[in-house]
Amino acid sequence: MFEQEDDIVERMIRQLRRPVAIDPGLDARVMREIADDAQPQAPGRRPLLRAWPWLAAAAVLGAVVIGAVVIARPWVRGSDNPDAFQFVLVAPQASSVSLVGDFNDWDPARSPMQTAHGVWATVVPLAPGRYRYAFLVNGIEWRADPGAPAAGDDEFGTPSSVVTVGGEGS
């Protein structure tokens, strides 16, 4: 379910870790600026204000990067909601999709999924355990999660998937 998003995040991390080429003349320019700043300021000169556009740009860039990571991996167990997991199904033609499983008594009304351009998603809090689940599309069609392990025993003739939430581990 999350492998594709993992790849996106890994690519972003690789991109962010890529060494940045620095202009060889940067040192000279910086030292010149420092030397200039050491001189008495001319009336009306405000070096701090000159830095504001760069600071603002850096802040926006940082927010975008952090936001992208958070949006790409919302299912990661974090400090805000440690048991929240996101389920996603791409179904552009669907008019409704519900998530049903062991965590909501297999009740389609409990976890209706929201769509954005055919990508259906919902977030469910899960305690440690192993859960069977499936997607109910348009109220009639059962679909397994293509990105999750399949439940091996489909005794009722329709596919299901499983998600396992770990505990303490060893």
Partner 1 sequence: MLAALLIAAQIAAQDPRLERLDPETRSLVVTVVDSARAVGLPGEPLIQRALEGATKGAPGTRIVAAVRRLATDLGTARTALGTHASAPELEAGVAALRAGASPQLLTQLRDVRRPPLTMALSVLADLVASGVPTDSAAAAVLALAPKARDADLVEFRRAVERDIALGAPPGAAAAVRALNTGVRSEVSGPGQQPGRPPSRP
- Rounded to whole angstroms, how far apart are CA atoms 141 and 120? 15
Q: CA 26 → CA 31, 54, 72, 80, distances in Å?
A: 9, 16, 35, 42
Q: Count CB neighbours of 68 within 10 A.
A: 13
- Rounded to whole angstroms, how far apart are CA atoms 69 and 7? 12
Question: Per CB under 8 A, which region of 13-21, 31-39, 40-48, 100-108 contacts partner 1?
Answer: 100-108
The answer to whether residue 6 forms part of the interface with partner 1 (CB under 8 A) is: yes
The answer to whether residue 166 forms part of the interface with partner 1 (CB under 8 A) is: yes
Show the binding pattern over residues 127-146: x = contacts partner 1 (CB under 8 A), - = does not: -xxx-x---x-----x----
The structure tokens listed for 51 are 């830095």
Query: Considering beta carbons, is residue 23 or 155 the nearer one to partner 1?
Result: 155
- Interface with partner 1 in residues 31-50 (CB under 8 A): none
Question: Per CB under 8 A, which region of 23-31, 38-46, 87-95, 102-110 contacts partner 1?
Answer: 102-110
The least CB distance from residue 156 to partner 1, in Å, is: 4
Query: Considering beta carbons, is residue 50 or 130 the nearer one to partner 1?
Result: 130
3-state secondary structure of 57: helix
